Amino acid sequence: MSRWRYWLPAGLGVAATSVFFLSVMRPPGVTSSRFGQDLPWQITRSQNGATIGVFGLTINESSLRDAVHKLGRRYELGLFQNPAGQLNLEAYFRDAVIGGLNARLVLSARLSEEQLIALLARAGAGKPTAEGGRRYSVSDADQDLALTATV
């Protein structure tokens, strides 16, 4: 009887630790790539050559929301303004699992100039970049708009 006093808590501790690590260490994307698929050098073209795909995303068609679904929810959106004043939206994925490889990725996304200016107006104070421009965080209110941008 006294053995169960030690083994039961130890077993429950191992089970709880396993559940915790499985939830933390799982691939971040909802539709993670199988091992050996969606590698950077595996580029696909449509029959007519009009579209190009990489990482399971289609250039100029897939949205940032599609990228989040594929690459994971560990991302940060940034609005960059170069010294000439031109705006660019980027998504930085800190921990993406693609084809069995762990990667950090930056995706450039496209919105209209009016939408980028609207994002900038609500972004608050930016931080200077090494190139002489500024980096702004996308506000929480603008996350949905930014996720509609095409990659």
Q: CB atoms < 10 A from the CB of 67, how many?
A: 25
DSSP-H helix ranges across 26-142: 64-71, 113-121
Phi, psi of 58 (to 5 degrees): -100, 120
Q: What is the mean pLDDT of residues 64-89?
A: 93
Model pLDDT for residues 83-110, shown as the tens digit of each residue: 999 999 999 999 887 777 788 999 999 9
Four-point Cα dihedral 80, 81, 87, 89, nearest 10:
0
* Lookup: tokens for 11: 């077993």
Start-to-end C-alpha separation, the chain? 63
Pick from 31, 132, 27: nearest CA to 82: 132
User: How high is the pLDDT of residue 102?
Assistant: 81
Please give the residue that has the higher pLDDT: either 109 or 40: 109
Task: Please determine, for residue 23, whether its predicted confidence score (pLDDT) is greater than 60.
Answer: no
Pick from 28, 84, 65: nearest CA to 150: 65
Mean pLDDT of the chain: 83
Q: What is the mean pLDDT of residues 70-76?
A: 89
Task: Please determine, for residue 24, whether its predicted confidence score (pLDDT) is greater than 60.
Answer: no
Residue length of the chain: 151
User: How high is the pLDDT of residue 12?
Assistant: 67
Q: What is the mean pLDDT of residues 30-43?
A: 64
User: How high is the pLDDT of residue 1?
Assistant: 54
| Percent of the chain's residues with pLDDT above 70 | 74
